[in-house]
């Protein structure tokens, strides 16, 4: 890496991280304002709010990286253009391709950091943040993992594998323990319908009574279950794609397909994770045509406005395409890659036209 390339890489990284800090601060201020409406509920105080913000910040960090890369590169490269540094670099023998190469080298650093945060920090932190929100009113969620939702009621443990759109539960397992925490009864139901007043109607039940001497099995068509677990709590604790790493998403998609359940939302999330590093590089490439050629004299405010318009426009189009894909059951990889590849093609075309 020569001196000019190293200089561009350092400046791009500096600008991107400054933009990231500003965006993250702004986002957290809005989130803090929203969380104040729950202040005082179930012991949810300022300490819990700041803890919640800290736990959600890694996910926000990951999601803001492409926009930060765009804003940072526009500002830095634009400043270099206004100060005639780009002209001097090209006069010193650095080609347009060399400048693009330096920008992409900075992108490699940003993508590496983004992947580390998004895959190894954000999922676990987001799970913990979700538990904090779910326990505001004294509700207790034990564990929300890849293969269902685990809840605890005193000495009873409940595993829910599927939560349907209307709030009914499917594939439920209930484990009852005694005072010594020994399992004495295991119950499985194909369906649970909420009747209100802390009552669930279980259908197609298989029960096993367990003792040190024997196991007795029986079946029932239906039974009433008394439980203070409500559909609202279950909706809060449903498996969220943001709570899963790329590997976990792949496992969960396979689990859903094996059990003949809808998996497109999680497939789209999986391919979105694959595309996200590409989006960072695309956002960096988008900035190049605005500053490498004759586009000098644009103010910092103008460059920021360009970045905001491009970033927001891309995000809106990406969301629209994603929702259309879910509605019309379109191919998830195609839906995930289409907006990014379109912008990439436009960026490459614009760069080729730079003199």
Q: Based on the domain organization, do 330 and 256 belong to the same domain?
A: yes
- Does the structure show a pLDDT above 60 at 138? no
How many whole angstroms from its chain centre is CA 198? Answer: 33
Please report the pLDDT score of residue 141 as a whole number: 47
Residue with the larger pLDDT of the pair 138 and 130: 130
85 is a domain residue: yes
Report residue 296's pLDDT band, with 50, 70 and 90 as the boundaries: low
Lowest mean pLDDT among 84-88, 97-101, 162-166, 312-316: 162-166
Number of neighbouring beta carbons within 10 Å of residue 65: 26
141 is a domain residue: no
User: Helix, strand, or coil here: 44?
Assistant: coil
Please report the pLDDT score of residue 136 as a whole number: 63
Which residue, of 236, 257, 281, is where some domain finishes? Answer: 236
Report residue 286's pLDDT band, with 50, 70 and 90 as the boundaries: confident
User: Helix, strand, or coil here: 42?
Assistant: helix
Please report the pLDDT score of residue 135 as a whole number: 62
Q: Based on the domain organization, do 211 and 313 belong to the same domain?
A: no
DSSP string, 237-270: TS--GGGS-HHHHHHHHHHHHHTT---HHHHHHH
Lowest mean pLDDT among 138-152, 212-226, 259-273: 138-152
Q: Based on the domain organization, do 15 and 47 belong to the same domain?
A: yes
Most confident by average pLDDT, 69-83, 179-193, 222-236, 250-264: 179-193
Question: Is residue 325 within a helix (H) or strand (E), and if so which, with residue range?
Answer: helix 300-327
Supply the DSSP symbol for 230.
-
Q: Based on the domain organization, do 207 and 182 belong to the same domain?
A: yes
Number of neighbouring beta carbons within 10 Å of residue 20: 22
Average of per-residue pLDDT across 254-264: 74
Unique residue bearing structure tokens 């004495």:
184
In whole angstroms, give the CA distance from residue 156 to residue 113: 42
Please report the pLDDT score of residue 189 as a whole number: 93
pTM of the model: 0.73
Q: Based on the domain organization, do 153 and 224 belong to the same domain?
A: yes
142 is a domain residue: no
Q: How many domains does the chain have?
A: 2
290 is a domain residue: yes
Unique residue bearing structure tokens 């007795």:
216
How many whole angstroms from its chain centre is CA 241? Answer: 6
Average of per-residue pLDDT across 283-310: 69
Q: What is the domain extent for residue 198?
A: 147-236
Which residue, of 236, 269, 289, is where some domain finishes? Answer: 236
Angle at 145 between CA 333 and CA 47, to 5 degrees: 105
Long-range CB pairs of 339-344 (<8 Å, 24+ gap) are: 339/314, 340/275, 340/278, 340/279, 340/282, 343/282, 343/286, 343/314, 344/278, 344/282, 344/285
Average of per-residue pLDDT across 156-176: 83
Q: What percent of the chain has pLDDT over 70?
A: 85
Burial class of 327 by CB neighbour count within 10 A (0 to 12, 13 to 18, 19+):
exposed
Q: Based on the domain organization, do 332 and 257 belong to the same domain?
A: yes
In whole angstroms, give the CA distance from residue 174 to residue 182: 14
Q: Based on the domain organization, do 123 and 99 belong to the same domain?
A: yes
């Amino acid at each position: 890496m020569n001196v000019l390339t190293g200089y561009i890489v350092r400046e791009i990284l500096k600008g991107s991280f400054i933009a990231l800090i500003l965006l993250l601060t702004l986002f957290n201020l809005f989130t803090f304002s929203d969380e104040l409406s729950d202040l005082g509920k179930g012991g949810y105080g300022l300490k819990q709010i700041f803890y919640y913000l800290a736990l959600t910040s890694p996910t926000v960090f990951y999601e803001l990286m492409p926009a930060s890369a765009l804003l940072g590169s526009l500002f830095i490269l634009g400043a270099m253009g206004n100060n005639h540094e780009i002209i001097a670099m090209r006069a010193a023998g650095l080609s347009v391709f060399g400048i693009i190469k330096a920008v992409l080298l900075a992108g490699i650093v940003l993508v590496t950091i983004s992947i580390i945060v998004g895959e190894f920090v954000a999922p676990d932190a987001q799970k913990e943040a979700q538990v904090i929100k779910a326990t505001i009113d004294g509700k207790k969620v034990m564990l929300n993992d890849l293969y269902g939702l685990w809840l605890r009621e005193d000495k009873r443990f409940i595993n829910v594998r599927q939560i349907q759109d209307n709030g009914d539960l499917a594939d439920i397992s209930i484990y009852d323990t005694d005072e010594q925490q020994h399992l004495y009864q295991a119950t499985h139901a194909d369906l649970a319908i909420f009747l209100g007043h802390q009552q669930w109607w279980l259908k197609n039940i298989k029960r096993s009574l367990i003792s040190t001497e024997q196991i007795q099995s029986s079946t029932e068509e239906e039974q009433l279950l008394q439980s203070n677990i409500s559909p609202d709590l279950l909706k809060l604790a449903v498996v969220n794609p943001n709570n899963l790493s790329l590997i976990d998403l792949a496992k969960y998609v396979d689990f859903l397909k094996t059990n003949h359940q809808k998996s497109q939302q999680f497939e789209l999330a999986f391919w979105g994770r694959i595309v996200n590093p590409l989006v960072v590089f695309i956002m960096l490439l988008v900035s190049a045509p605005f500053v490498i050629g004759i586009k000098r004299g644009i103010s910092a405010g103008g460059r920021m406005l360009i970045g905001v318009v491009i970033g927001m426009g891309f995000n809106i189009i990406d969301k629209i395409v994603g929702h259309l894909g879910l509605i019309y059951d379109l191919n998830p990889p195609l839906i995930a890659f289409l907006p990014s590849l379109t912008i990439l093609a436009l960026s490459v075309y614009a760069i080729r036209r730079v003199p």
